[in-house]
Amino acid sequence: MCGICCSVSFSVEHFSKDLKEDILHNLNRRGPDSNKQLLKSSGSYQCLFSGHVLHLRGVLTAQPVEDERGDVLLWNGEVFSGITVEAEENDTQIMFNYLSSCKNESDVLSLFSEVQGPWSFIYYQASSHHLWFGRDFFGRRSLLWHFSNLGKSFCLSSVGSQTSGVASQWQEVPASGIFRIDLKSASISKSLVLKLYPWKSISGENVIKECVNSLIQISANLPTCVSVVANEAKLYLKEPVAPLNMVLPQAPLTIPCSNIASVPSTRETLQVFLTDGHMKEVVQQFIDVLSIAVKRRVLCLPRDENLTSSEALKTYDRKANVAILFSGGIDSMVIAALADRHIPLDEPIDLLNVAFMTKEKTVLTGFNKKRKKQKSHCEIPSEESSKNGAAAGDDNSPDKQFRVPDRITGRMGLKELQAANPSRIWNFVEINVSLEELQELRRTRICHLVQPLDTVLDDSIGCAVWFASRGIGWLVTQGEAKLYQSSAKVVLTGIGADEQLAGYSRHRVRFQTHGMEGLNKEIEMELGRISSRNLGRDDRVIGDHGKEARFPFLDENVVSFLNSLPVWEKANLTLPRGIGEKLILRLAAVELGLTTSALLPKRAMQFGSRIAKMEKNNEKASDKCGRLQVISLENLSIEKEIKT
């Protein structure tokens, strides 16, 4: 994974040999293993390219890369399938080789139509003065753009700057296709024309209407000097996933239970579904395709292959290469169980479990309603207190303040995984966050990463994911607690499961009001907007720690498989919570030998970690969040001077 940036100027007064300090700082955090800048000038315009590499596969390849023709590539992606990248090869160099051999626009589009995996890129063709850029179909890698109002400059970057008052002008590049700008024409006309090469579904239905809608939506948020148009040749990218199966049942669904209202949420109920031969086969196919997706995401990593047998036996000294955002819920449990299949047995797996300090609540004991609230201790608990709290479970221990729902289910999930494979070292990392630490790091780091998203929900999830992926917490083993920091460069996350398998409460509401047809449309909408609602933000937040987010549920083959199924084979919302939503995933969990987690109802991260309403009780998830107000570095230094 990388931090990539290209700053383009069309007027001499805007020419610069350096990026702003704050944007360089943010990019360096994403790519700590190599950083390089390259300046390309062509009389009427100047391009400053900046690449910051997190090395994960093949030979370390510094970016930007340039060939003898002066073409330049910045690549922030992982090629998991579609084109061949051998284990010892670096995908940046492979992609550049392919791009260098492209003779025309059609070749470029054919290449990006084949690549499977997350990506964003910036590609400069010197001879034609063309600048190409874009994000993958799901927008799994962040890319932002910022245009000056006068059209004299613009910037593309993985992450924005911290300049007060300007952050809101950064916007996410839409994952609508890839874009091309003719820099020479732009310098002459003093206006920017972005040519869009849109994604087109395999079925090809309504492609013209969809393209027009995309152009209108994109243009609405841009300065008047910037326009977005369809490419003249009407070329397009081939969507990498099969279209969603919208078929409706010909007859009312029958379920293997006589009385729906009294269906118990038990393992036995799920096993009844597996007595149906077709359903059992579909579940096994799902496990197989998801297992391959996880395998691709945990094996493309540098490992200590040259260890002697005696060194390899010292598993307690080994570092984890892979971490999982872990709540003990169904999504993270299935990912952990499948990762266990493919990660070498002598390598630990880090399970990152985040909890935010809860407020002491009045507890009714008999008729005594006057129990005093204890003063909150907002530092991370001392090693001794955390040890006592985690080991003994004492209700009066400081650990009680972090005993949130996700911590409880996380510990239960840990026991399930340990029982399934006692030979594996499972590092359950208890990440405890106080109110003071949350407020300080949101102000100095997280708010800049969540931007340009700005709702209460973005704040809650962005902060929770940032602290979880940082991986600093307590490791509790054999009744003892010690400070621990995860060294894993890859972080697996379960995002994408709820969107595809009707995991949210809004899916159930839509089903109750509009039936199967409404549910299909809700799932289609969820997948269509996941790039703008979630993935760019999560990539920026996780990437800030020099780590890479990987999303097995959004593997192209996984999505295509799930899209091919009729909705009732994925979810049955006539059944109660804890059974009906994400039904196919629950059945997969049973087949994998998981027990308690297969029956846990969906609980959103912001509620399970208890960050939601931590600071305000009356705010809604969709409200604009004042806590995400961006403060400039200059203002921060002034604040520090005042305090000292």
368, part of any domain: no
| pLDDT of the residue at 394 | 44
DSSP string, 559-611: HHHHHHS-GGGT--TTSPTTTSTTHHHHHHHHHTT--GGGGPPP--HHHHTT-
Do both 160 and 210 map to the same domain?
yes
CA–CA distances in Å: residue 333 to residues 119, 292, 465, 595, 599: 26, 16, 17, 10, 12
Q: Give the count of beta carbons closer than 10 Å to the beta carbon of residue 237.
A: 22
370, part of any domain: no
Do both 225 and 274 map to the same domain?
no
Q: CB-based contacts of 607: which residues, under 8 Å, 6+ apart?
A: 405
Q: What is the pLDDT of residues 330-352, one digit of tens each?
A: 999 999 999 999 999 999 999 99
| pLDDT of the residue at 225 | 86
331, part of any domain: yes
How many whole angstroms separate alpha carbon 117 and alpha carbon 134? 14
CB 602 within 8 A of CB 582: yes
CA angle 450, 606, 361 (to 5 degrees): 130
DSSP string, 209-257: HHHHHHHHHHHHTS-TTEEEEE-TT---EEPSSPPP-----SS----S-
Q: Which tokens is 239 given?
A: 């969507």
364, part of any domain: no
| pLDDT of the residue at 86 | 87
Active site (catalytic) residues: 2
CB 581 within 8 A of CB 502: yes
Picking from 238, 255, 289, the residue at the C-terminal end of a domain is 238
How many whole angstroms separate alpha carbon 457 and alpha carbon 454? 8
Do both 269 and 214 map to the same domain?
no
Do both 288 and 202 map to the same domain?
no
CATH of the domain at 485: 3.40.50.620
Instruction: Please state the domain count of the chain.
Output: 2
Do both 97 and 208 map to the same domain?
yes
Q: What is the pLDDT of residues 468-496, one digit of tens each?
A: 999 999 998 877 889 999 999 999 999 99
CB 356 within 8 A of CB 473: no
279, part of any domain: yes
Do both 277 and 407 map to the same domain?
yes
Do both 609 and 574 map to the same domain?
yes
Do both 582 and 467 map to the same domain?
yes
250, part of any domain: no
Do both 132 and 21 map to the same domain?
yes
- For residue 625, the SS3 value is coil
Q: What is the mean pLDDT of the chain?
A: 85
Picking from 198, 223, 238, the residue at the C-terminal end of a domain is 238
How many whole angstroms separate alpha carbon 295 and alpha carbon 456? 35
Do both 201 and 291 map to the same domain?
no
Q: Which residue has the tokens 């081939």?
A: 238
Q: Which long-range contacts (CB under 8 A, 24 or more apart) does 275-282 make?
A: 279/569, 279/587, 282/565, 282/569, 282/584
| pLDDT of the residue at 607 | 78
Query: Which residues of the chain are under the pLDDT cut of 50?
Result: 164-167, 258-261, 306-313, 315, 362-397, 632-644
User: Residue 426 phi/psi, 5° resolution?
Assistant: -100, 110
CATH of the domain at 199: 3.60.20.10
Picking from 193, 223, 238, the residue at the C-terminal end of a domain is 238
| pLDDT of the residue at 643 | 44
Question: How many CA atoms lie within 13 Å of 375's alpha carbon, on the beta-carbon side?
Answer: 2
| pLDDT of the residue at 190 | 81
Do both 157 and 287 map to the same domain?
no
Do both 319 and 414 map to the same domain?
yes
245, part of any domain: no
How many whole angstroms separate alpha carbon 432 and alpha carbon 356? 6
DSSP string, 512-559: HHHHHHHHHHHHHHHHHHHIIIIIHHHHHHHHTTT-EEE-GGG-HHHH
Domain of 524 in residue numbering reads as 265-303+313-356+378-636
179, part of any domain: yes
